[in-house]
Amino acid sequence: MPLLNSVIKWVNIKRNYQIQYYREYPHEIQNETLFELLLNARNTEWGKAHNFNKIDSHKDFQKSMPLQHYNDIKPYVERMRKGEKDLLWPGEVKWFAKSSGTTSDKSKFIPVTKEALEECHLRGPKDVFAQYITNHPDSKVVKGKVLTLGGSHQVNNSSNNSFYGDLSAIMLENVPFWSDLFRTPTTEIALIEEFEEKIEKIIDTALDQNITSFAGVPSWYLVLFKKVLEKTGKSNLLEVWPNLEVFAHGGVNFDPYREQYRRLIPSEQMHYLETYNASEGFFGIQDNEHRDDMLLMLDYGIYYEFIPMSEYGNPDPKVLSLKEVELNENYAMVISTNAGLWRYIIGDTIKFTCKYPFKIKVTGRTKHFINAFGEELIIDNAEQAMKVACHHTGAVVNEYTAGPVFMGDKQKGAHQWIIEFDVPPSDLDHFMRILDNSLKTLNSDYEAKRHKNLTLEMPHVVQAPSGTFYEWMKQRGKVGGQNKIPRLANNRKYLDEVLNMMQV
């Protein structure tokens, strides 16, 4: 173990030096990344079609091609899955992450090249722990194991040439064999497709292990941990795994789950680190636990651009480089990557909280908002308001979703919220009044529409029984892995599905 700690320390020192370099020289790193991507892909079908060999600047790059959505690259992806080479990225692409994002119910198959795996997806988790160990030199996290709750889909053979599955499953298939020494359960168990079967086997395997950390989506770990306590009869997780030390979480905002985790792991020595990763890439790491933002990772083979949300949806929106962004403005993120995604709009919105180094917060999704009446309510508003309402009422929210109540002959417009509480408020109406007032404070458009109930009346609320959202996601085939409960929608699709299920 002393030898292992020495090796880890040496690797961390080297990596932290590299990260410090792009804290100080972000634009040089990004410029270098762009031209390395162009050089590597210049002889692909996409590179030839867009004259990659003639691009000399960021402006040339912007002029070479329009912004891309998944449907724009889908024909290329389908050809790649059949084994065609040198299309979006040089060589043959064997792996495709089946995206279960909430912007669409249809599956997306995101290319995962060898370079993207090694330089981005697998590097991100290493950097999370490198930063953590650097900040906590007395940590004993490496003396135990990482608890892994893998994807909900195993890797499947889509043809003789390619494979698809959740990104987490693809990563498990590609990690070095010796990684089993540091994690549990085995790959075989982690890749079980049936979520409930997987949970049972993880519990059987992990109870006698020295678990010191876990990483993944907070909502699905809650399902696992509650099952652990049911099976063991323990009152909290420290009675099961006394050396628990750190949770690297991502996929959804952690704030709605924070109080539940405090009760599950009642220790001031437990650390929580946010990460920003997706099927398309690994983008951010919380490198300072005293701040709630993340360091934008600039040397993972990703070149970033940003669309101001005031421009989003325009036929020819203004698109900014990293040099041009402003603090606290809402941007849609655009990426060009070593997975062969070019000027690709991933659907997330972020804002910058700091420059030099560049730090970000995820504010929502480009398609997940409520703007049925001009109120422009985004996920960041909803999460902050929910946090305030919980703080003032002692409530703990498990899950929620919200959408519009459309105007009718005798019905004013409103927002409807379906909320599943872990600890319900003593007065639900009081909870909603605080939520409503917080939204007014956070969003001037919402406040204007709520003025004297002229356009929007007081939000409607439905309290859902425990387990409602888990059953809803199960019915949709979206349990586990990277699946996320949609928080906001500009239509009633999700609301009506949940309400109809509750009435059965």
Q: For residue range 179-230, what is the model confidence (pLDDT) as tens digits? A: 777 899 988 888 888 888 989 999 999 999 999 999 988 888 988 999 999 9
Predicted pLDDT at 188 = 85
Tell me which residue of 54, 102, 29 sits closest to 368, measured CA to CA.
102
Lowest mean pLDDT among 113-122, 226-235, 250-259, 485-494: 250-259
> Structure tokens of 446?
């919402």
Residue-level pLDDT at 98: 83
**Residues contacting residue 326 through CB under 8 Å, at least 6 positions apart:** 352
Give the pLDDT band (50/70/90) at residue 438: very high
Provide the pairing of β-strand 271-278 with 281-285: antiparallel
So what's the pLDDT on residue 158?
64
Q: Mean pLDDT score of the chain, rounded to an integer?
A: 90
Q: Measure CA of the first residue to CA of the last residue in the chain; give whole Å.
A: 56
For residue 185, the 8-state DSSP code is: S
Residue type, 224: L
pLDDT (0 to 100) of residue 350: 96
Average pLDDT, integer, range 277-289: 94
Q: Does the structure show a pLDDT above 70 at 440?
A: yes
Looking at residue 368, its pLDDT comes to: 83
Burial zone of 25 (CB within 10 Å; 0-12 exposed, 13-18 middle, 19+ buried): middle
Q: Which of 362-366, 384-388, 431-435 has the lowest mean pLDDT?
A: 362-366
Predicted confidence at residue 5, as pLDDT, reads 52
Residue 487 in contact with residue 382, Cβ under 8 Å?
yes
Q: Please determine, for residue 482, whether its predicted confidence score (pLDDT) is greater than 50.
A: yes
Rounded distance, CA 211 to CA 383, Å? 30
Rounded Cα distance between 78 and 428, Å, is: 49
Of residues 147 and 378, the one with the higher pLDDT is 147
Residue 23: band (very low, low, confident or very high) from pLDDT cuts 50, 70, 90: confident
> If you average pLDDT over each of 34-48, 175-189, 469-483, which comes out highest?
34-48
Sequence-distant (6+) residues with CB within 8 A of 340 are 41, 44, 46, 87, 88, 89, 93, 111, 113
Both structure tokens of 458 = 């007081």
Which residues in 381-413 are b (16+ Cβ under 10 Å) and which e? bbbbbbbbbbebbebbbbbbbbbbbeeeeeeeb
Alpha carbons 226 and 244: distance in angstroms, whole number: 16
User: How confident is the model at residue 54, as a pLDDT?
Assistant: 96
- Full 3-state SS string of 2-58: HHHHHHHHHHHHHHHHHHHHHHHCHHHHHHHHHHHHHHHHCCCHHHHHCCHHHCCCH
- For residue 29 the two structure tokens come to 């790193």
Question: 235: which DSSP letter?
Answer: S
* pLDDT tens for each residue of 380-418: 899 999 999 999 999 999 999 999 998 766 778 899 999
Q: What are the CA-CA distances from residue 424 to residues 438, 461, 498 (Å)? A: 19, 13, 19
More confident residue, 455 or 435: 435
Top pLDDT among 454 and 90 is at 90
Query: Which pLDDT does position 155 carry in this prediction?
Result: 67
Tell me how long the chain is.
504
Does residue 442 or residue 103 have the better pLDDT? 442
The CA distance from 13 to 19, in Å, is 10
Amino acid at 112: V
pLDDT in tens, 87-120: 999 999 999 998 754 344 357 899 999 999 999 9
Using DSSP bridges, classify how beta strands 396-405 and 344-354 pair: parallel, antiparallel or unpaired: unpaired
Amino acid letter, 449: K
When pLDDT is cut at 50, 70 and 90, the band that residue 11 belongs to is low
Q: Give buried/exposed letters for 81-102 (b at 16+ CB in 10 A, else e).
A: beeeebbbbbeebbbbbbbbbb
Radius of gyration of the chain (CA): 23
pLDDT in tens, 125-172: 999 988 898 889 889 998 999 998 876 555 667 666 788 888 888 898
- Band the pLDDT of 484: cuts 50, 70, 90: confident
pLDDT at residue 372 greater than cutoff 70: yes
Among 126-130, 157-161, 349-353, 374-378, name the one with the lowest average pLDDT.
157-161
Q: Which residues of 433-469 are buried (b: 16+ CB within 10 A; e: fewer)?
A: bbbbbbbbebbeebbebbeeeebbbebebbebeeebb
Can you give the pLDDT at residue 103? 41
Q: Interhelix angle for 26-41 vs 2-24, to 10°?
A: 100
DSSP character for 368?
Answer: B
Residue carrying structure tokens 């982690």:
190
Angle between helices 218-232 and 255-264 (to 10 degrees): 20
Give me the percent of the chain exceeding a pLDDT of 70.
93
| Spatial distance between the Cα atoms of 43 and 51, rounded to a whole number of angstroms | 9
CB 415 within 8 A of CB 285: no
Answer yes or no: is pLDDT of 481 > 70.
no
Q: How far apart are CA 122 and CA 124, in angstroms?
A: 6
Q: Are 98 and 166 in contact (CB under 8 A)?
A: yes
pLDDT digits (tens, 9 = 90+) for 329-345: 999 999 999 999 999 99
Coil vs helix vs strand at 258? helix
What tokens does 101 get? 């994002």
Pairwise CA distance, residues 458 & 436, whole Å:
7
* Per-residue confidence band for 296, with pLDDT thresholds at 50, 70 and 90: very high
pTM for the whole structure:
0.82
